[in-house]
């Protein structure tokens, strides 16, 4: 007898009422159920997958009996079909399970007592009648009726999508976006999901399309694949990409002919999803939004630069003297020249390395503008950078997203051309982190007569997002730039500053400094295994004892995520060393989250008002509510367990993620394991994140390679070209 025949003989059908949902994964649909089955004295444990499941539902299932060494006999279902309950007890349990907003177990009891088994028909056809029950008014009846209708639609969508490999949490996002037409829209073009739904990319949409028998060379698939390749290019830092390179990437992704890809490109161009243009005379293709953002940003910058400020006649020399006398600030000649240039400009860039007085200059300009009765606003790309800017200036500073009032619904900014910022002067700190989209958002929100100042270190890593905004603006030589180069006396005494400049000028940082002697040292390692032990000792013992700080205040910055001395492994090792005995924890997406863990938000979440790079500490884990709370410097944010893919452990973070932040102490592993990421600007950026202590742990050869490697991956952008164009 064949294996298939044996399986058919062994498979059984089982029906019953779900008494309890012991476990349910929103991500995979896997569930463990306790089911009351006719003919069985005890509850039966059923395991399987379902798009949605609730206590009280009637269950029809097919599967086989298995024995688990820990949990005993279980029914392993190959199919699970939950149906509305058919007994009064089941209906009460079902309606009171949390399925419907505004419906508690006590409310469900009252409804069943009043309407009996007809309650489900009433919810379907005449929910207004719920107000007949004492304690349920018309408004509550409306809420319950609406929630009931929504869950029915969602359930149908979930059933459809689960059959095509989509998780329940993503299915609900699809319903929120498409509403009741979700299934029709997806059947017509499943690749719309990749464009419209957060968290569903091309690869997920492609799996759904494959199950729907969409042909591999279908034009809708090819077009979606081309846009996906361009989106990946944008996420890697470029605003556009050479046409030939995009064709090659698309062929590799889609496994279709060159002719079909070229046909797809033509259709995408005709639809307006992508745009053709040149970068340094090379034919390139852009996503439409990125092309518009660069073009319009250049146009607005040129318009700002062509006009004069309303205070251009102010005596800069007197203003500088007033600062020195009134605020007891000693200004260098370069800072005084910068003040003069700032008073005459509507857009200007202030750049320089550590210790050259960028902060002092910004503080002086803020005082001068405020003395002129002008309204000044300050912002930075990250919460930590904004907090630091606020501390050094004594003025409120916001993240760019909060300043521009991002909408949690669609991620768009409420501040724009029609609703500009209420200020006369805007300072944007850590501008090396500003990407093309964020620059466009800032420029659209500028008031008609406002002035704009960018502050940043051009030698740091470029933005994580697409573009090289600060570099392009400076290299265009079309905008006023104040370059501060004079290192102040206090900074001259810092080995952190000295060695940062050594790295930036192509010299090896000093490796002969001992740990106890100052604020910078190199700790040599014979192997990655030894480096891990040295890092743990530095973080948990040596640095905390020297600086009298906690281990959580020491930040490990890694060149890359993978490897023994990368972000992923060091987070696991440091979590065990720093937070080894948690009272409560939860494991999700391969990460164990514990009370008091240091964590980082890794995507922008406008609804929660937390952003990529924000660091906080876990303050609570509630397994009953399946939620977790994090304190982001006084801002308490709650996450459902299925949302924990938005955060990660932050005992160690990448150097890229550290941009815009400053830490009391920094430890940087730098070994040959990191060969692919060893670059001068990465090492320079990491060193300049440390305020009181920087320790490099690793190999001298790796250090030498990083310092000597100053060639950066090319980013395809148009901003510089448009700034220099006379025809814009």
Distance CA 94, CA 108 (A): 8
Binding-site positions read 355-359
Distance CA 723, CA 441 (A): 18
Q: Hey, what are 451's tokens?
A: 């002035």
Residue by residue, DSSP assigns 436-502 as HHHHHHHHHT--TT-EEEEEE-TTSPPPSSS--HHHHHHHTT-S-EEE--PPPHHHHT-HHHHHHHH
Residue by residue, DSSP assigns 644-684 as GGGEEE-SEEEHHHHTT--EEEEEEEE-GGGGGG--HHHHH
Distances (CA, A) of 602 to 382, 410, 648: 12, 18, 7
Binding-site positions for ATP read 355-359
Distance CA 455, CA 469 (A): 12
| Tokens 């990460």, located at residue | 591
Scanning 76-212, the segments in alpha helix (DSSP H) are: 88-95, 105-115, 119-125, 138-162, 168-178, 182-188, 192-196, 202-211
| Contact by Cβ (8 Å): 681, 569 | no
Return the beta strands (E) in 514-614 as ranges: 520-524, 554-558, 585-588, 591-594, 598-601
Q: Exposure string (b/e) for 620-658, b if CB count within 10 Å is 16 or more?
A: ebeeeeeebbbebeeeebebebbbbbbbbbbbbbbbbbb
Q: Hey, what are 595's tokens?
A: 């009370």
- Report which DSSP code applies to 622: E
Distance CA 251, CA 213 (A): 20
* Residue 451 neighbours by CB under 8 Å, 6+ apart: 304, 309, 345, 346, 347, 348, 424, 425, 426
| Tokens 């059959």, located at residue | 163
68 strand-pairing partners: 72
Rg (CA), the chain: 30
Return the beta strands (E) in 528-643 as ranges: 554-558, 585-588, 591-594, 598-601, 615-622, 627-632, 635-640
Distances (CA, A) of 149 to 108, 139, 171, 517: 16, 16, 16, 70
């Amino acid at each position: 007898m064949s294996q298939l025949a044996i399986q058919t003989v062994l498979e059984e059908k089982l029906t019953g009422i779900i008494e309890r949902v012991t476990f349910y994964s929103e991500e995979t649909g896997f569930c463990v159920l306790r089911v009351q089955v006719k003919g069985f004295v005890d509850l039966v444990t059923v395991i399987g997958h379902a798009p949605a499941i609730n206590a009280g539902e009637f269950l029809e299932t097919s599967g086989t009996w298995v024995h688990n060494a820990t949990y005993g006999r279980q029914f392993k279902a190959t199919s699970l079909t939950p149906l509305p309950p058919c007994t009064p007890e089941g209906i009460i349990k079902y309606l009171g399970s949390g399925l419907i907003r505004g419906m508690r177990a006590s409310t469900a009891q009252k409804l069943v007592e009043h309407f009996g088994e007809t309650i489900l028909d009433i919810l379907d056809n005449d929910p207004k009648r719920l107000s007949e029950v004492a304690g349920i008014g018309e408004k509550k009846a409306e809420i319950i009726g609406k929630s009931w209708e929504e869950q029915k639609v969602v359930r149908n969508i979930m059933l459809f999508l689960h059959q095509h490999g989509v998780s329940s949490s993503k299915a609900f996002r699809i319903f929120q976006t498409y509403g009741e037409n979700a299934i029709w829209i997806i059947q017509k073009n499943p690749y719309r999901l990749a464009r419209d739904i957060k968290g569903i990319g091309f690869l997920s949409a492609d799996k759904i399309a494959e199950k729907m028998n969409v042909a591999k060379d279908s034009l809708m698939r090819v077009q979606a694949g081309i846009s996906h390749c361009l989106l990946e290019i944008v996420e890697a830092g470029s605003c556009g990409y050479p046409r030939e390179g995009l064709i090659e990437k698309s062929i590799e992704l889609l496994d279709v002919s060159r002719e079909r890809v070229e046909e797809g490109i033509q259709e995408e161009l005709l639809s307006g999803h992508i745009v053709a243009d040149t970068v340094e005379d090379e034919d390139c293709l852009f996503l439409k939004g990125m092309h518009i953002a660069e073009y319009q940003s250049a146009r607005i910058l040129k318009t700002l630069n062509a006009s004069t400020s309303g205070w251009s006649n102010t005596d800069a020399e007197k203003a500088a003297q007033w600062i020195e006398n009134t605020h007891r600030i000693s200004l260098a000649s370069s800072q005084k020249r910068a003040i003069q240039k700032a008073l005459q400009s509507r857009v200007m860039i202030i750049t320089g390395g550590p210790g050259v007085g960028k902060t002092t200059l910004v503080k002086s300009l803020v005082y001068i503008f405020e003395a002129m009765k002008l309204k000044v606003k300050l912002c930075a790309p990250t919460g930590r950078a904004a907090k630091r800017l606020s501390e050094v200036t004594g003025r409120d500073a916001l993240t760019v997203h909060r300043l521009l009032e991002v909408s949690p619904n669609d991620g768009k900014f409420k501040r724009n051309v029609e609703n500009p910022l209420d200020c006369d002067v805007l300072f944007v700190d850590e501008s090396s982190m500003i990407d093309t989209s964020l620059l466009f958002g800032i420029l659209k929100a500028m008031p008609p007569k406002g002035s704009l100042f960018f502050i940043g270190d051009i030698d740091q890593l470029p933005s994580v997002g697409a573009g090289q905004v600060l570099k392009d603006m400076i290299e265009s030589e079309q905008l006023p730039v104040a370059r501060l180069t004079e290192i102040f006396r206090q900074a001259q005494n810092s080995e952190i500053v000295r060695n940062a400049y050594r790295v930036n000028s192509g010299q090896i940082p000093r490796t002969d400094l001992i740990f106890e002697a100052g604020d910078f040292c190199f700790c040599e390692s014979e192997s990655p295994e030894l480096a891990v032990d040295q890092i743990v000792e530095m973080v948990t013992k040596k640095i905390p004892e020297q600086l009298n700080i906690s281990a959580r205040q020491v930040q490990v910055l890694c060149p890359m995520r993978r490897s023994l001395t990368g972000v992923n492994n060091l987070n696991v090792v440091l979590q065990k060393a720093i937070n080894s005995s948690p009272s409560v924890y939860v494991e999700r997406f391969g990460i164990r989250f514990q009370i008091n863990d240091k964590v980082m938000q890794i995507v922008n979440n406008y609804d929660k008002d937390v952003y990529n790079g924000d660091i906080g500490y876990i303050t609570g884990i509630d397994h009953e509510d399946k939620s977790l709370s994090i304190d982001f410097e006084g801002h308490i944010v709650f996450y459902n367990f299925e949302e924990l893919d938005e955060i990660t452990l932050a005992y160690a973070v990448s150097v890229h993620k550290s941009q815009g932040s400053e830490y009391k102490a920094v430890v940087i592993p730098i070994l040959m394991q990191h060969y692919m990421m060893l670059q001068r600007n990465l090492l320079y950026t990491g060193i300049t994140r440390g305020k009181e202590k920087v320790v490099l742990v690793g190999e001298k050869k790796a250090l030498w390679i990083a310092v000597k490697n100053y060639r950066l991956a090319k980013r395809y952008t148009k901003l510089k070209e448009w700034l220099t164009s006379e025809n814009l």
